[in-house]
Amino acid sequence: MGQRPNSPAARDVAYHLHPYTNARKHEAEGPLIIESGDGVTVTDDSGKRYIEGLAGLWCTSLGFGNERLIRAAEQQMRRLAYYHSFAHKVPPPVIELSEKLIAMAPGNMGKVFYANSGSEANDTAIKLVWYYNNALGRPGKKKIISRQRAYHGVTIASASLTGLPYNHADFDLPIEGIRHTSCPHYWRGAQDGESEEDFATRMAADLEQLILDEGPETVAAFIGEPVMGAGGVITPPRTYWRKVQEVLKKYDVLLIADEVICGFGRTGDMFGCETYGIEPDMVTVAKALSSAYLPISAVMMRDEVYQAIADNTKKIGTLGHGFTYSGHPVSAAVALETLKIYDEMDIAARASELAPRLQNGLRRYADHPLVGEVRGIGMIAAVEPVANKATRAPFDPAGKVGAQLDQRCRAHGVILRNLGDTLAVCPPLVIEEEQVDTIVEVIGKALDETWEWVR
| Complex with ligand PLP: residue 66 or 117, whichever CB lies closer | 117
**Alpha carbon distance 444, 450 (integer Å):** 10
| Complex with ligand PLP: residue 163 or 361, whichever CB lies closer | 163
Confirm or reject binding of residue 230 to ligand PLP (CB under 6 A). Answer: yes
Region 8-67 residues binding ligand PLP, contact defined as CB under 6 A? 57-58
State which residue has the least CB distance to ligand PLP: 118
The radius of gyration of the chain from alpha carbons, rounded to an integer in Å, stands at 22
Among 61, 85, 117, 167, binds ligand PLP (CB under 6 A): 117
| Complex with ligand PLP: residue 285 or 371, whichever CB lies closer | 285
Confirm or reject binding of residue 384 to ligand PLP (CB under 6 A). Answer: no
Confirm or reject binding of residue 243 to ligand PLP (CB under 6 A). Answer: no
The 10 Å Cβ neighbour count of residue 455 is 7
Region 276-335 residues binding ligand PLP, contact defined as CB under 6 A? 286
Confirm or reject binding of residue 119 to ligand PLP (CB under 6 A). Answer: yes
Confirm or reject binding of residue 419 to ligand PLP (CB under 6 A). Answer: no
**Alpha carbon distance 455, 425 (integer Å):** 25
| Complex with ligand PLP: residue 225 or 384, whichever CB lies closer | 225
φ/ψ of 12, rounded to 5, equals: -60, -45
Q: Which long-range contacts (CB under 8 A, 24 or more apart) does 197-200 make?
A: 197/237, 197/238, 197/239, 199/237, 200/236, 200/237, 200/238, 200/239, 200/240, 200/243
Q: Which stretch binds ligand PLP (CB under 6 A): 101-109, 111-119, 424-432, 439-447?
A: 111-119
**What are the distances in angstroms from CA 396 to CA 370, 400, 402, 419?**
14, 8, 11, 14
Confirm or reject binding of residue 123 to ligand PLP (CB under 6 A). Answer: no
Among 118, 163, 226, 378, binds ligand PLP (CB under 6 A): 118
Confirm or reject binding of residue 420 to ligand PLP (CB under 6 A). Answer: no
Name the strand (E) or helix (H) holding 220: strand 219-224
3-class DSSP string for 153-207: CCCHHHHHHCCCHHHHCCCCCCCCCEEEECCCCHHHHCCCCCCHHHHHHHHHHHH
**Alpha carbon distance 71, 453 (integer Å):** 48
Q: Which stretch binds ligand PLP (CB under 6 A): 16-24, 66-74, 94-102, 225-233?
A: 225-233
- DSSP annotation of 59 reads T
Q: Which stretch binds ligand PLP (CB under 6 A): 9-17, 130-138, 149-157, 272-280?
A: 149-157
Binding site for ligand PLP (CB under 6 A): 57-58, 117-119, 122, 151-153, 225, 229-230, 258, 260-261, 286
